[in-house]
Amino acid sequence: MRLKDKVAVVTGAAQGFGEGIARRFAEEGAKVLVVDLQGDKADAVAAQIGGIGMGVNVASRDALEAMFDRAEAELGPVDILVNNAGVTHLPQPMQDVTEEDFDRIFAVNMKAIFHAAQLLVPRMAERGGAVINVSSTAAISPRPNLTWYNASKGWVNTVTQSMAVELAPKGIRVNAICPVAGETPLLQSFMGQDTPEVRAKFLSTIPIGRFTTPQDIGDAAVFLASPESGMVTGLCMTVDGGRCI
């Protein structure tokens, strides 16, 4: 019960890594607002873990403000924010990625963190808290044909460290988790196609020999959100089975 009675908001939490984080937070005693663009799926996860579900488009500042308002009204002041919602483009040469795809990546992977920080920091500054940004090993060891996605996650790592320095005097810790590709709905997008041969080639780059699981990321997030990491801020933690060594 390391997060007992803490109020946590987790975006992109209806599936994949976000769901893993929401479930682990609830297991550790947190009151969780499960946020996802797919509101019905967010409600389903929330019902299973004793939280509250909410459909939110994180690319909208107004929607994010409504998200924080609801969290405070129904659960209490927000102690933990996990910016997990993210999108990618299919693997392809960088010149072939459409402007529409680029704008979507910018809005979800980057601008959503900008809006969330501006909206939450004034509310959180009086009592401190923890912000966790879900990044990627793509920010550290980029793969070809994912250039604009890689760049968006590089931005996440830089903004994590910059926020950490600026917000430390306010008692707000900011860290990032950098997973290698995992068994989530985005896996096929990263690989281009999901075949035994493509999986084997991908897994050959991960020394531990398996994909990241939602449990792996949930465990890391619990540590970064808990008092156990009270001296940890600005960390971009790789949870990658040795991929980036």
Burial class (CB in 10 A: 0-12, 13-18, 19+), 245: exposed
- Sheet with 52-55, strands from edge to edge, namely 52-55, 31-36, 7-10, 80-83, 129-134, 172-179, 236-239
Residue 150: CB atoms within 10 Å: 21
d(CA 33, CA 231): 26
Determine whether 149 is an active site residue.
yes
Contact call for residues 6 and 80 (beta carbons, < 8 A): yes
Catalytic residue, chosen from 149, 190, 202, 211, is 149
CB 139 within 8 A of CB 157: yes
Which residues are designated catalytic? Answer: 149
